[in-house]
Structure 1
Amino acid sequence: MTNHRMLLGAAICVAGAILAIGAARQTTPTEFTTASAQFEITSPLGRKLYSLPDEKGVIAAAQKELAANPNDVKLMLKVAEAQASVWQDREAVETCTNALHLSPNNADAYLERGHREVALRRFRDAQKDLEQAAKLDPKKLDVYYHLGLAHYFLQEFSEAANAFQKAVDLAPNNDSRINSTNWLYASLRRAGRTEQAASAIAKITPDITTSGHSEFYLHLVRFFQGAMKESDAVPQEPTREGVDLEPELQFDTVAYGVGNWYLYNGKPTQAQEYFGRVVKGRVWITWGFIGSEAELARASGRG
């Protein structure tokens, strides 16, 4: 299971989602409303969203370790990560808050809390926490990536672009660079800065390759560049059955990106069709799901 804190590892920017997707393989999910799942939030579209059952006891294991050293902030953040791995984001935010009571200048605690606040659609709270994390640790890529997301979902696209540019500048490898460039491009296009957007994705040159979890972000970039057809870039729509939720992560990411491309190119009908396909899914923590949900809510007057 990938640790999203490994800033020098590959695919930094999607690792948090992968962590949670991996935990989902514990069970066969439908709407995750079993007795062991917990209600988390009501979406802007009115859908109740739930955590996963913690069938492997990852939270209890982390809490047991913390109980032996209750003032260890690193162990508190380990509990928060365990909670987030089964989509208990409200609980993870509370754990991070407790950590900050003990260590008020802990950049990792602000980052973790901000990350989870984005998932909870508490974008302004996330922005404030992530800005504080950036002040405390200005060289942490993950801070700027999630700060960019908070601004983006607030429709503050120029501010989002500034944050994603910092993430690109700090990227230690192609995977991180590709992931951040995708969101940088989207932010610049939504801000009406078309020439800068084209310049940003031109830096992902044809010789750059990747594999694994970042490959679908690269497909999106190639689509934006006109180097890949839409039908080749968009993964097959998942069946939304069974225990493997990773196909939904991939589909949500690319389908939102392509839908967004239609939106800023003046084709809202095609955009809404893509967004609607995304929110049929189960993985409400993906950025593609959150973005699709927000656009549909705005289009219906709820956002």
Structure 2
Amino acid sequence: MRHVSFSRPHMLAAFTAAGLAVAACAGEEPQTEEAAGDREVALADGQQAVSLFGEPLFQQDDTTGAIADADAALAESPDDVERLIASGRVRRNFWHYRQAMELYSRAIDLAPSDWRPYRFRGHRYISVREFDAAIVDLERARELAPMNWDVAYHLGLAYFLAGRFGDAHAEYRRCLDLAEDPAARGASADGFRSCSENADDPESFVAMTEWAVRAAARADDDADVQRLLETVATGLDVSENVAYYHDLLYYKGEMTAEDLLDPGPDAPYRMETVGFGVANWMLAQGDTARARAILEGLVEDPWWPGFGRIAAEVELFRLTGGG
């Protein structure tokens, strides 16, 4: 059992002690923040975070040897930023987020002008429910790579989870509006997904647009909700982000909540993704009771790093008076 300290500086960072616990992973020293309201929280070995409702969230075992292989390569050149990032990235497959964040921090120390470790560490701060820290990293990544699709996507998500719906809407819109931008097109390269992919790749387009609609709806920008939905065509060739596409068709009135929430055993998506879209839309429409019923089911999803699961925790916590 390890002990870690944390502080609760403001609103969403202040959900609960559990929600902001800084997990200690094997081999790491406890992390300490000095601020008013600090308290010490014990976390079990292998525990990465705690849900906003106090559920301990654990890593998975790597039975493939992938982490060991990446670490062996890193040991040969411990100051190689590419190997640090690779060793961090492989850990995402097994939810070893705290260890990955330590590796990204080392990469930042070695290459402070490289946008990638800020983007990856920011994503992992989202995974462990530390949204304010995620915003700091992802805003820095945006400064370094303003045309990057993944930076915009995750920064918008961090804003959304922090309850900054207007900022989330603006960030998603910024990237969508770069779809045809010559500089954005020029930035596209292997390893760099540009915001221009919103024009060229339906998968990128539906993911970015769906979160933009979610944020716009919660920011009460009904006019832009309609403008965004007008850009979504029926019959798009989407296979990976079907959940986001079906949510968009639901918002357009071309699918029903029942279609999405009871898709049958062969559904091409996880319920936490499509379900949160439905619940969020209901919240925006003032149908709190139905939204809450959906959210209560989503927070039981064992896939705790999923964005829909995290967002469901946040919204249910707000509804139950926690934030």
Q: Do both proteins adopt the same fold according to a TM-score greater than 0.5, normalized to the shorter chain?
A: yes
Q: Distance in 1 between matches of 2:318 and 2:260?
A: 26
- Equivalent residue number for residue 80 of structure 1: 88
The Cα RMSD (Å) is 1.9
SS in 2 for 1:100: helix
Q: Distance in 2 between matches of 1:124 and 1:288?
A: 18
Matched, 1:257 2:295: no
Q: Identify the structure with the greater helix proportion.
A: 1
SS in 2 for 1:280: coil
Tell me which amino acid in the other structure corresponds to 1:210.
V
> Deviations for 1:174-202, whole angstroms, at most 9, x for unmatched residues?
11000110000010000000111111121
Q: TM-score, normalised by structure 1?
A: 0.82
- Equivalent residue number for residue 116 of structure 1: 124
Q: Distance in 2 between matches of 1:266 and 1:133?
A: 35
SS in 2 for 1:49: strand
RCO higher in 1 or 2 (8 Å CA, sep ≥ 6)? 1
Q: Distance in 1 between matches of 2:97 and 2:305?
A: 9
Tell me which amino acid in the other structure corresponds to 1:95.
L
1:270 to 263, 285, 290: 290
Tell whether the 8 Å contact from 1:110 to 1:130 is kept in structure 2 after alignment: yes
1:67 to 38, 60, 75: 75
Q: Distance in 1 between matches of 2:173 and 2:86?
A: 29
Tell me which amino acid in the other structure corresponds to 2:133.
D
Query: What is the CA distance between 1:109 and its match in structure 2?
Result: 0.7
Change in 2 beyond 3 A, CA 1:129/1:232: same
Tell me which amino acid in the other structure corresponds to 2:249.
R
2:66 to 42, 58, 64: 58
Tell whether the 8 Å contact from 2:107 to 2:117 is kept in structure 1 after alignment: yes
Query: What is the CA distance between 1:107 and its match in structure 2?
Result: 0.3
Question: What pairs with 1:13-24 in structure 2 (closer than 5 Å)?
Answer: none
Tell whether the 8 Å contact from 1:189 to 1:197 is kept in structure 2 after alignment: yes
* Runs (5+) with no aligned partner, structure 1: 1-35, 239-245
Query: What is the CA distance between 1:250 and its match in structure 2?
Result: 1.8
Q: Distance in 1 between matches of 2:68 and 2:281?
A: 43
Q: Distance in 2 between matches of 1:126 and 1:118?
A: 6
Tell me which amino acid in the other structure corresponds to 1:104.
P
Query: What is the CA distance between 1:207 and its match in structure 2?
Result: 4.2
Query: What is the CA distance between 1:157 and its match in structure 2?
Result: 0.7
Query: What is the CA distance between 1:234 and its match in structure 2?
Result: 2.8
SS in 1 for 2:270: helix
- Equivalent residue number for residue 94 of structure 1: 102
Tell whether the 8 Å contact from 1:235 to 1:251 is kept in structure 2 after alignment: no
Matched, 1:182 2:197: no
Larger Rg: 2
SS in 1 for 2:146: coil
Q: Distance in 1 between matches of 2:227 and 2:268?
A: 30
Query: What is the CA distance between 1:125 and its match in structure 2?
Result: 0.9
- Equivalent residue number for residue 15 of structure 1: none
Tell whether the 8 Å contact from 1:40 to 1:88 is kept in structure 2 after alignment: yes
* Runs (5+) with no aligned partner, structure 2: 1-43, 180-194
> Deviations for 1:22-60, whole angstroms, at most 9, x for unmatched residues?
xxxxxxxxxxxxxx9710111111111111111112111
Tell whether the 8 Å contact from 1:110 to 1:132 is kept in structure 2 after alignment: yes
* Alignment size in residue pairs: 260
Matched, 1:146 2:173: no
SS in 2 for 1:145: helix
Question: What pairs with 1:1-303 in structure 2 (closer than 5 Å)?
Answer: 38-168=46-176, 169=179, 170=195, 171=198, 172-211=200-239, 213-236=240-263, 250-303=270-323
Tell me which amino acid in the other structure corresponds to 1:126.
A
> Deviations for 1:74-104, whole angstroms, at most 9, x for unmatched residues?
1101111111211111111111001111111
